[in-house]
Amino acid sequence: MTLIQIDEYDTPAGKSLAETIKASIRTPDSLGLDRCIQCGACTASCPAARFTAYNPRLLVKRVLENDRGVLEDETLWNCFYCYTCQLRCPRNNSPAKLVQVLRQLALNEGIGLENMEHFLGLGEFFAAHGISQVPEHYLGKMAEALGSSWVEFKRDLPAIRAELGLGSLDIRDERKEIRSILEGTGHFERAESLRARLKESGASEGIEENKFLNAIPGKNKSEDINLEKNGRYSGPEALIV
Protein backbone atom coordinates (compact mmCIF):
# COMPACT_ATOMS: atom_id res chain seq x y z
CA MET A 1 0.00 0.00 0.00
CA THR A 2 1.52 3.28 -1.02
CA LEU A 3 0.89 6.85 -0.11
CA ILE A 4 -0.53 7.63 -3.52
CA GLN A 5 -3.24 5.07 -3.04
CA ILE A 6 -4.35 6.75 0.12
CA ASP A 7 -4.37 10.15 -1.50
CA GLU A 8 -6.54 8.66 -4.17
CA TYR A 9 -9.46 8.76 -1.77
CA ASP A 10 -9.26 12.40 -0.77
CA THR A 11 -7.98 13.85 -4.00
CA PRO A 12 -8.51 11.33 -6.79
CA ALA A 13 -7.08 12.39 -10.10
CA GLY A 14 -9.72 13.93 -12.32
CA LYS A 15 -10.03 15.92 -15.50
CA SER A 16 -10.77 19.03 -13.50
CA LEU A 17 -10.91 20.32 -9.96
CA ALA A 18 -14.64 19.76 -9.96
CA GLU A 19 -14.24 16.14 -11.04
CA THR A 20 -11.67 15.52 -8.32
CA ILE A 21 -13.91 17.09 -5.72
CA LYS A 22 -16.95 15.10 -6.79
CA ALA A 23 -14.98 11.86 -6.81
CA SER A 24 -13.37 12.51 -3.43
CA ILE A 25 -14.73 10.40 -0.60
CA ARG A 26 -14.94 13.59 1.41
CA THR A 27 -17.95 14.69 -0.63
CA PRO A 28 -21.30 12.90 -0.88
CA ASP A 29 -22.75 11.82 -4.22
CA SER A 30 -25.57 14.26 -3.71
CA LEU A 31 -23.20 17.24 -3.69
CA GLY A 32 -24.77 20.03 -5.74
CA LEU A 33 -21.47 21.44 -7.01
CA ASP A 34 -22.56 21.46 -10.65
CA ARG A 35 -25.92 22.87 -9.65
CA CYS A 36 -24.46 25.97 -7.97
CA ILE A 37 -26.33 29.05 -9.14
CA GLN A 38 -23.89 31.52 -7.65
CA CYS A 39 -26.57 32.93 -5.39
CA GLY A 40 -24.14 33.97 -2.70
CA ALA A 41 -26.12 32.54 0.19
CA CYS A 42 -22.95 30.77 1.28
CA THR A 43 -20.84 33.90 1.31
CA ALA A 44 -23.52 35.92 3.03
CA SER A 45 -23.68 33.26 5.73
CA CYS A 46 -19.96 32.66 6.10
CA PRO A 47 -18.10 33.91 9.18
CA ALA A 48 -14.80 33.81 7.32
CA ALA A 49 -16.25 35.92 4.53
CA ARG A 50 -17.61 38.35 7.08
CA PHE A 51 -14.29 38.92 8.78
CA THR A 52 -11.71 38.18 6.09
CA ALA A 53 -11.32 38.41 2.32
CA TYR A 54 -12.45 34.85 1.88
CA ASN A 55 -15.46 34.22 -0.39
CA PRO A 56 -16.87 30.70 -0.69
CA ARG A 57 -19.15 31.52 -3.63
CA LEU A 58 -16.18 32.74 -5.59
CA LEU A 59 -14.29 29.66 -4.59
CA VAL A 60 -17.03 27.49 -6.05
CA LYS A 61 -16.98 29.58 -9.19
CA ARG A 62 -13.25 29.23 -9.57
CA VAL A 63 -13.52 25.49 -9.04
CA LEU A 64 -16.18 25.26 -11.72
CA GLU A 65 -13.94 27.25 -14.03
CA ASN A 66 -11.12 24.85 -13.17
CA ASP A 67 -8.94 27.71 -12.08
CA ARG A 68 -6.11 25.90 -10.28
CA GLY A 69 -4.85 29.21 -9.01
CA VAL A 70 -7.43 28.78 -6.32
CA LEU A 71 -5.06 26.38 -4.58
CA GLU A 72 -2.63 29.19 -4.01
CA ASP A 73 -5.26 31.52 -2.65
CA GLU A 74 -4.31 32.10 0.96
CA THR A 75 -7.90 32.74 1.99
CA LEU A 76 -8.48 29.06 1.41
CA TRP A 77 -7.03 28.60 4.89
CA ASN A 78 -9.60 30.91 6.48
CA CYS A 79 -12.56 28.54 6.46
CA PHE A 80 -13.81 27.55 9.92
CA TYR A 81 -15.38 24.30 8.75
CA CYS A 82 -18.54 25.51 10.40
CA TYR A 83 -20.75 24.24 7.57
CA THR A 84 -23.01 27.29 7.65
CA CYS A 85 -22.62 27.52 3.88
CA GLN A 86 -23.77 23.95 3.54
CA LEU A 87 -26.76 24.62 5.77
CA ARG A 88 -27.86 27.55 3.63
CA CYS A 89 -27.01 26.43 0.11
CA PRO A 90 -30.27 26.03 -1.82
CA ARG A 91 -28.58 23.62 -4.22
CA ASN A 92 -27.14 21.26 -1.65
CA ASN A 93 -23.64 22.27 -2.49
CA SER A 94 -21.10 22.47 0.31
CA PRO A 95 -18.26 24.95 0.05
CA ALA A 96 -17.11 23.60 3.44
CA LYS A 97 -16.49 20.25 1.80
CA LEU A 98 -14.94 21.82 -1.27
CA VAL A 99 -12.40 23.59 0.87
CA GLN A 100 -11.44 20.37 2.60
CA VAL A 101 -10.56 18.78 -0.71
CA LEU A 102 -8.91 21.93 -2.02
CA ARG A 103 -6.64 22.17 1.04
CA GLN A 104 -5.60 18.56 0.51
CA LEU A 105 -4.86 19.36 -3.13
CA ALA A 106 -2.89 22.41 -2.05
CA LEU A 107 -0.87 20.36 0.43
CA ASN A 108 -0.16 17.82 -2.30
CA GLU A 109 1.41 20.65 -4.23
CA GLY A 110 3.33 21.88 -1.23
CA ILE A 111 1.10 24.89 -0.69
CA GLY A 112 0.00 25.95 2.77
CA LEU A 113 2.40 23.61 4.58
CA GLU A 114 3.25 26.28 7.11
CA ASN A 115 -0.35 26.09 8.39
CA MET A 116 0.22 22.45 9.18
CA GLU A 117 3.58 22.57 10.84
CA HIS A 118 2.54 22.19 14.44
CA PHE A 119 -0.22 19.71 13.72
CA LEU A 120 1.98 17.17 11.99
CA GLY A 121 2.81 15.42 15.25
CA LEU A 122 -0.79 14.79 16.25
CA GLY A 123 -0.67 11.32 14.75
CA GLU A 124 2.28 10.28 16.90
CA PHE A 125 0.54 11.44 20.02
CA PHE A 126 -2.65 9.71 18.97
CA ALA A 127 -0.81 6.46 18.34
CA ALA A 128 0.81 6.66 21.76
CA HIS A 129 -2.21 7.68 23.81
CA GLY A 130 -5.32 6.97 21.78
CA ILE A 131 -6.44 10.52 22.34
CA SER A 132 -5.61 13.86 20.77
CA GLN A 133 -4.49 17.03 22.36
CA VAL A 134 -3.81 20.53 21.22
CA PRO A 135 -0.26 20.50 19.79
CA GLU A 136 2.35 21.53 22.25
CA HIS A 137 3.27 24.63 20.35
CA TYR A 138 -0.25 25.91 20.67
CA LEU A 139 -0.61 24.68 24.23
CA GLY A 140 2.29 26.97 24.96
CA LYS A 141 0.53 29.86 23.26
CA MET A 142 -2.60 29.09 25.21
CA ALA A 143 -0.65 29.06 28.43
CA GLU A 144 0.73 32.47 27.57
CA ALA A 145 -2.68 33.85 26.85
CA LEU A 146 -4.60 32.19 29.63
CA GLY A 147 -2.02 32.62 32.28
CA SER A 148 -1.22 30.82 35.45
CA SER A 149 -4.72 29.84 36.49
CA TRP A 150 -5.08 27.65 33.45
CA VAL A 151 -1.61 26.21 33.82
CA GLU A 152 -2.48 25.36 37.40
CA PHE A 153 -5.66 23.74 36.29
CA LYS A 154 -3.73 21.67 33.79
CA ARG A 155 -1.42 20.61 36.57
CA ASP A 156 -4.38 19.68 38.73
CA LEU A 157 -6.23 17.88 36.00
CA PRO A 158 -5.32 14.38 37.18
CA ALA A 159 -6.52 15.18 40.66
CA ILE A 160 -9.70 16.80 39.41
CA ARG A 161 -10.42 13.84 37.20
CA ALA A 162 -9.85 11.55 40.11
CA GLU A 163 -12.24 13.56 42.23
CA LEU A 164 -14.82 13.31 39.50
CA GLY A 165 -14.31 9.60 39.37
CA LEU A 166 -13.11 9.65 35.80
CA GLY A 167 -10.61 7.16 34.47
CA SER A 168 -7.37 7.43 32.65
CA LEU A 169 -6.95 9.87 29.81
CA ASP A 170 -5.18 7.28 27.75
CA ILE A 171 -7.16 4.50 26.21
CA ARG A 172 -6.49 0.81 26.55
CA ASP A 173 -4.92 -0.34 23.34
CA GLU A 174 -2.84 -3.40 24.01
CA ARG A 175 -2.60 -4.42 20.38
CA LYS A 176 -1.49 -0.95 19.32
CA GLU A 177 -4.48 -0.80 17.07
CA ILE A 178 -4.40 2.96 16.62
CA ARG A 179 -0.81 2.86 15.46
CA SER A 180 -1.60 0.02 13.06
CA ILE A 181 -4.54 1.89 11.59
CA LEU A 182 -2.61 5.13 11.18
CA GLU A 183 0.15 3.14 9.56
CA GLY A 184 -2.10 1.03 7.40
CA THR A 185 -3.99 3.99 6.07
CA GLY A 186 -0.76 5.74 5.20
CA HIS A 187 -0.99 8.49 7.73
CA PHE A 188 2.62 8.50 8.87
CA GLU A 189 3.91 8.51 5.34
CA ARG A 190 1.68 11.42 4.55
CA ALA A 191 2.77 13.36 7.63
CA GLU A 192 6.40 12.54 6.94
CA SER A 193 6.29 13.71 3.37
CA LEU A 194 4.59 16.94 4.40
CA ARG A 195 7.22 17.46 7.03
CA ALA A 196 10.01 16.85 4.54
CA ARG A 197 8.55 19.28 2.04
CA LEU A 198 8.11 21.84 4.74
CA LYS A 199 11.74 21.56 5.68
CA GLU A 200 12.75 21.83 2.04
CA SER A 201 10.73 24.98 1.59
CA GLY A 202 12.35 26.53 4.64
CA ALA A 203 9.02 27.81 5.86
CA SER A 204 9.26 25.98 9.16
CA GLU A 205 9.21 28.19 12.23
CA GLY A 206 10.42 25.45 14.49
CA ILE A 207 9.20 24.69 17.96
CA GLU A 208 10.46 26.84 20.71
CA GLU A 209 10.73 25.60 24.25
CA ASN A 210 7.92 26.89 26.40
CA LYS A 211 8.34 27.30 30.10
CA PHE A 212 4.66 26.88 30.89
CA LEU A 213 4.51 23.59 29.17
CA ASN A 214 6.69 21.71 31.54
CA ALA A 215 4.13 22.31 34.19
CA ILE A 216 1.55 20.33 32.31
CA PRO A 217 1.40 16.62 32.97
CA GLY A 218 0.56 14.04 30.35
CA LYS A 219 2.05 16.00 27.53
CA ASN A 220 4.65 13.43 26.74
CA LYS A 221 4.38 9.92 27.92
CA SER A 222 1.23 8.32 29.09
CA GLU A 223 0.68 8.90 32.77
CA ASP A 224 -2.02 6.53 33.67
CA ILE A 225 -4.05 8.10 36.35
CA ASN A 226 -6.74 6.19 38.09
CA LEU A 227 -7.19 3.55 35.47
CA GLU A 228 -10.64 2.37 36.32
CA LYS A 229 -12.23 -0.78 35.07
CA ASN A 230 -14.55 -0.78 32.14
CA GLY A 231 -18.03 -0.03 33.25
CA ARG A 232 -20.61 2.31 34.42
CA TYR A 233 -19.89 5.37 36.40
CA SER A 234 -18.43 4.22 39.66
CA GLY A 235 -18.02 7.55 41.39
CA PRO A 236 -19.75 8.64 44.54
CA GLU A 237 -23.51 8.44 44.42
CA ALA A 238 -23.84 10.64 47.47
CA LEU A 239 -25.17 13.57 45.55
CA ILE A 240 -28.22 11.80 44.31
CA VAL A 241 -31.20 12.80 46.34
Residues that bind ligand SF4 (CB under 6 A): 36-42, 45-48, 56-57, 60, 79-85, 88-91, 93, 95-96, 99
CB of 85 to other proteins, least distance (A): 9
The binder of other proteins chosen from 17, 31, 71, 79 (CB under 8 A): 79
Stretch that binds other proteins, among 13-21, 63-71, 195-203, 229-237 (CB under 8 A): 229-237
Q: Is 222 in the site for other proteins (CB under 8 A)?
A: no
DSSP states along 6-74: HHHHHS---SSHHHHHHHSTTS-TT--GGG-----HHHHH-HHHHHSS--HHHHHHHHHTT-GGGGG-G
Q: What is the CA radius of gyration of the chain?
A: 22
The binder of other proteins chosen from 110, 128, 203, 228 (CB under 8 A): 228
Q: Is 20 in the site for other proteins (CB under 8 A)?
A: no
CB of 138 to ligand SF4, least distance (A): 20
Stretch that binds other proteins, among 14-22, 23-31, 64-72, 205-213 (CB under 8 A): 23-31
Q: Is 15 in the site for other proteins (CB under 8 A)?
A: no
Distance, CA of 77 to chain centre = 12
The one-letter amino acid at 208: E
- List b or e across 117-127, with b for residues whose CB sees 16 or more CB atoms inside 10 angstroms: bbebebbebbb
